[in-house]
Structure 1
Amino acid sequence: MNIKRTTLCAISLLLLSACATPPPQNPENICEIFREHHHWYEGAKDMQERWGVPIHVPMSMMYQESSFRSDALPPRDYLLGFIPWGRVSTAYGFSQAKTLTWEDYIRDSDNSGADRDDFADAIDFMGWFIAKTQKVNGVSKWDPYNQYLNYHEGWGGFKRKTYAKKSWLLPVARKVERRAITYSGQLKSCRDELDSSWLWRVLFY
């Protein structure tokens, strides 16, 4: 009986891993990302329509946070420097959303079934966060640099300018900004294709 149970558990884990969406093969090109995972584009469009956030901003932030891995986790924490002791934070999934912030999002958005390892939910969370950042700290939804600093430090941390004491963080925010600019230009070149029907894409692209 134990052998059967173990075998069933192993098969279930393999099936779950097989169903997980792999990271895009070319994450440097947003057109290639959405061609490979067209349902991600649909989720990103829904996010834009709901929160008024341009797609290239959360996509550039998501790349930085998780490299588009659905099961991304923060580094491990260690007791006494060598004993594994959980994770450094509760961040998880595509958006690396922390548990408490994710719960705030669910309450505000009424998206009770949202999962952090679901792309559509994760990018909707990021759209919510970016839109709220504009309300709380007056940062434009089109400003990837300061939006990322808010995302990393939190709204209160941004107000207190905690990022100023982290010399490594500012170059990362600039990296996100440069990627957002690149993604924006790329998306303009392929948006008509992505918006076309699946049959049109098969026949003409």
Structure 2
Amino acid sequence: MNVVLGAFSVGLVGCATAPPQNPNDICSIYREKRSWYFAAMKAQEKWHVPNTVPMAMMYQESGFHSDIQTRRTYILWIIPWGHITSAYGYAQAENGVWHDYQRSIGHDGDRTNYADALDFMDWYMTRTHRLAGVPLADARNQYLAYHEGWGGYRRGTYQGKPWLGRVASKVGSRAQRYKTQYDRCADSLKPSFWEWLFSWLP
């Protein structure tokens, strides 16, 4: 039965950049990938979105794989099955909204670049806050709006999708867990003067 269901599913492919070794611990992530830490701090300062919220959403969307994308699967190698989308990269941003982001910030960006993907997510969430009134720290509802789009969220399309509510709750729980972890290690993550200085170099 599992084999049959597997043939009917839409798969996820792509893992050019290795994800963090311990994705369940944000302190471990930031220690392993220092460039991610600096990117997260810059994005938080720019957009005022708590860094733990997009990290929890990114974990759900891509598992921190850089070039993951959806692909159509086939039944008996002939019949196409599953919905294909243009979602791509760390943030699983679709073409249309990614292009809106590019026009908004005046920068091309790259969905396989962690800093660009994080900036996109924070940009999206600040607009969710402005358009739908969702607090920036409310990971559950931010994720629902991220998944359904601003119009869909305001229409409440997620209410007919119990599975999505469960996923959003998982994102909310992960964001809270990340926050608890980060609060304990934030001071130890702060860079030395030279590390901070070099982090700003191109």
Q: Give unmatched runs, 5+ long, in structure 2.
A: 1-13, 196-202
CA RMSD of aligned residues (A): 2.4
What letter matches 2:23 in structure 1?
A: P
Q: 1:158 aligns with which of 153, 162, 180?
A: 153
Taking the aligned partners of 1:195 and 1:125, their CA distance within structure 2 comes to 24
Which aligned runs of 4 or more in structure 1 are off by greater than 6 angstroms? none
User: What residue number does 2:177 align with?
Assistant: 182
Residue-by-residue CA offset, 1:131-185 (whole Å, 9 max, x unaligned):
0100010100010010000000000000111101111100100000000000001
User: What residue number does 1:27 align with?
Assistant: 23
Corresponding residue SS for 2:135:
coil
* Matching of residues 37-52 of structure 1 within 5 Å: 37-52=33-48
* TM norm structure 1: 0.82
User: What residue number does 1:125 align with?
Assistant: 120
Taking the aligned partners of 1:94 and 1:77, their CA distance within structure 2 comes to 21
Corresponding residue SS for 2:177:
helix
* TM norm structure 2: 0.83
* Matching of residues 1-205 of structure 1 within 5 Å: 20-76=16-72, 82-84=78-80, 88-112=84-108, 114-197=109-192
Deviation for aligned residue 1:199: 7.6
Q: Give unmatched runs, 5+ long, in structure 1.
A: 1-16, 201-205
How many aligned residue pairs are there? 182
Considering Cα pairs closer than 8 Å and 6+ residues apart, tell me whether 1 or 2 has the greater RCO. Answer: 2
Cα pair distance change 1:189/1:164, threshold 3 Å: same
User: What residue number does 1:8 align with?
Assistant: none
Deviation for aligned residue 1:81: 9.1
User: What residue number does 1:13 align with?
Assistant: none
What letter matches 1:175 in structure 2?
A: K
Taking the aligned partners of 1:155 and 1:77, their CA distance within structure 2 comes to 29
Taking the aligned partners of 2:19 and 2:152, their CA distance within structure 1 comes to 31
